[in-house]
Amino acid sequence: MQPQGLLPQLRKITVAELVQLPQKKIHTDDDVVAWHKTRGYRDFWLFLLRLNEAVVNHAVPRVDGSCSPTAAVLISILDELDSWIDDIPPLRSPQRFGNLAFRTWGDRLTQKSDQLLERLLGPELRAVIPYVKPIFEISFGSFLRMDYGTGHETSFAMFLCCLTLVRFFEPSIDQERELVLRVFVRYMRLCWRLQDVYKLEPAGSHGVWGLDDYSFLGYVFGSAQLREQAEFPVSAILRLPLPQDNLYCMCITRIHQVKHGPFHEHSSQLYAIATGVPNWTKVNSGLLKMYEGEVLSKRVVVQHLPLGGLLSLDED
């Protein structure tokens, strides 16, 4: 992997350059292959690599501190979305998975997304709203199927990428680190609460053979954080309690909160990594390859992503 300083700069896009709004474009496996050859896909993959490198040897802040105004306003919006859960309690009727109140939460998001995005972007970037709104709205789960999975998580990462392409966020190492350690962590905590309160099903789960029922990027970024920390071996994740200033450890702790029984049985992939991969550099590079292969290359995962617009479908 290349150090962050050796990665290319993310390009800048103006709304004047755009000719189409994002929409669902992936219907077949061939469409997935074609998407991987587009400029938008290359932009997104470069963005993820830059985020990954930005957090090497950096911890999640233990207390809320100052952050950039752009990150602060997005975090305040995620806080507001979290507060809606208190306003919209789960229905008491028997529902094993997918409490119908989640659709009410989703309806409020759909109704207020323009207002939220205008508050985020301000008058200077108001024209960007139609290009990011569809991506933002599906970042929190499917309100029809009442599930959440790696495709929704990917959509939020794409939302952050689009905001960086238009330079709402700057592609600087400090800003990119902040996007992971502050913004993405806040998003992750919100999605955990949505899953718990509304009993969302995992979308496209591989069962015990998958990395995680709901998410992936937390493990990628968390393994990057640990790449230069030899004093914390990969096998250390098997010994609880785990430090909560690392995304990988936060995700493992989360698994122990929602699953019961032997870890090697319900999380065999993570157990295999802990017992079979020698260092965090190999874990990180392996997870990046796995994310591209098991998430971004799976039609059933990416078929709902709105593509085009800022994520150009022009062949690269």
pLDDT at 63: 77
The tens digit of pLDDT for each residue in 247-290 reads: 999 999 999 999 999 999 999 999 999 999 999 999 999 999 99
pLDDT at 209: 57
Does position 4 have pLDDT exceeding 70, yes or no?
no
Does position 2 have pLDDT exceeding 70, yes or no?
no
Instruction: Determine if the pTM surpasses 0.75.
Output: yes
Does position 296 have pLDDT exceeding 70, yes or no?
yes
Q: How confident is the model at residue 47 (pLDDT cuts 50, 70, 90)?
A: very high
Q: What percent of the chain has pLDDT over 70?
A: 97
Q: What is the mean pLDDT of the chain?
A: 95
pLDDT, mean of residues 26-40: 98
pLDDT, mean of residues 193-219: 86
pLDDT, mean of residues 125-154: 97
pLDDT at 94: 76
pLDDT, mean of residues 48-68: 92
pLDDT at 95: 74
Does position 1 have pLDDT exceeding 80, yes or no?
no
pLDDT, mean of residues 85-97: 89
Does position 204 have pLDDT exceeding 60, yes or no?
yes
Does position 15 have pLDDT exceeding 90, yes or no?
no
Q: How confident is the model at residue 206 (pLDDT cuts 50, 70, 90)?
A: low
Domain spans of the chain, in order of start:
21-307
DSSP letters spanning the chain = ---GGGSPPPP---GGG--S--EE---SHHHHHHHTTBHHHHHHHHHHHHHHHHTTT-PPPSS-----HHHHHHHHHHHHHHHHHHHSPPP-S--SS--THHHHHHHHHHHHHHHHHHHHHTGGGGGGHHHHHHHHHTTT-BTTTTEE-HHHHHHHHHHHHHHHHTTSS--SHHHHHHIIIIIIHHHHHHHHHHHHHHTPEETT--GGGSS-SS-SHHHHHHHHHTTT-TTS-GGGGGSSS--TTSHHHHHHHHHHHH--S-HHHH-HHHHHHHHH--SHHHHHHHHHHHHHHHTTT-HHHHTT-EEBTTB--SB-
pLDDT at 306: 97
Does position 19 have pLDDT exceeding 90, yes or no?
no
pLDDT, mean of residues 196-203: 94
Architecture of domain 21-307: Up-down Bundle (1.20)
